[in-house]
Structure 1
């Protein structure tokens, strides 16, 4: 019996380790924890309840934070369908300032969940526009820049982000202009202003 419990914990630990210690109730169930056992671990402080049906092993909360752990939580909230995007993606790429009160996610057009903590954008993203991180996915620097330009807000921040991305060799002016064209006139206008400011 003890071996069964140890194996169950080890299986869940492997899953959670790839997700910064976070896991869902469904993942715990798949590892062998009944919902009654899940309640027990949450009530006794072995697991931290982060959100409805999302937990984190207590041990991970004692580790030094790297700044993007909370993004794993939102990926799990979306059942791994969301991609970190727009200005939140810029911050993830060190091209902007994080704004925890406005977390931007791009979700599939059929996605229906909502949260007051999120700004949701509905779109179908091509795989070439997405990078895999530990526990979540994020739009590439190129995509993050042009989708932020398409938002039409924070031109000063966009100017700095574009100049930084070009200086670091993450994107070229040609790539930015082409990608902005794909998203429409607002993206083109914002990007052109940013490129002028960067020159």
Structure 2
């Protein structure tokens, strides 16, 4: 039926920008009533990921990336969370960061919680954030500084700083300035990393 195809096409276009994920609100906007949504979940056309978050079944058969799951957290936060800290280092493939937890930075007034993520509260500026497919992530510069401020293993900061400099992503001066803005712990971690690079 043409109407159903058009409805599905609209939702598919939205989901395609989000690695196949979408929210109940996005499905409603595309033309799916809550009853129709329930039907598609029951038929396993849509996979229920979380309360009000789904994914087209077809995406389970497609090659996935290491960052697919981060789209889910962007949708969970209603696009207010930014992937950050050591998780952002891993997204940028900087150094040896391989965090066991997902780190997200959310605005100070953000109220939602989930035991699967570590939330940091900060008001990020546009210069601190990059858009990836379906989610936002802090820039390499910010990710290094906030990881140092969070007191991750010094080896993680050292390797991230070394790689960021060798790839030309930032400069020593910009790294130090970004660290200074986040406090003494960040500054100390970045200074140690810079000494390690020149040693």
* Bin of the TM-score, shorter chain as denominator length: over 0.9
1:41-80 pair list within 5 angstroms: 41-80=40-79
| Structure 2 partner of 1:120 | 119
What displacement does 1:66 show? 1.5
- Equivalent residues in 2 for 1:91-110, closer than 5 Å: 91-95=90-94, 96-99=96-99, 101-110=100-109
Question: Deviation per CA, 1:89-145, whole angstroms, max 9, x where unpaired?
Answer: 00000014333x300000000000001110100000000110001100000000000
Residue of structure 2 equivalent to 1:146: 145
Distance 2:98 2:130 in 1: 18
**Hey, what does 1:37 align to over in structure 2?**
36
Gaps of 5+ in 2: none
- Structure 1 residue 156: deviation in Å? 1.1
Deviations 1:57-83 (A, max 9, x none): 011111111210000000000000000
Q: Write out the 4+ residue segments of structure 1 that deviate beyond 6 Å after TM superposition.
A: none
Q: Which runs of 5+ in 1 are unaligned?
A: none
Counterpart-to-counterpart distance in 1, 2:5 and 2:98: 39
Q: Scaled by the length of structure 1, what TM-score is found? A: 0.97
The Cα of 1:158 is off from its aligned counterpart by 0.9
Question: What pairs with 1:140-179 in structure 2 (closer than 5 Å)?
Answer: 140-179=139-178
- Partners of 1:102 and 1:71 lie apart in 2 by 12
Number of residue equivalences: 197
Distance in structure 2 (CA, Å) of the matches to 1:192 and 1:161: 13
The 1-side partners of 2:136 and 2:7 are apart by 27
Q: Could you say what secondary structure the match of 1:169 adopts?
A: coil
CA pair 139-65 structure 1, distance change in 2 beyond 3 A: same
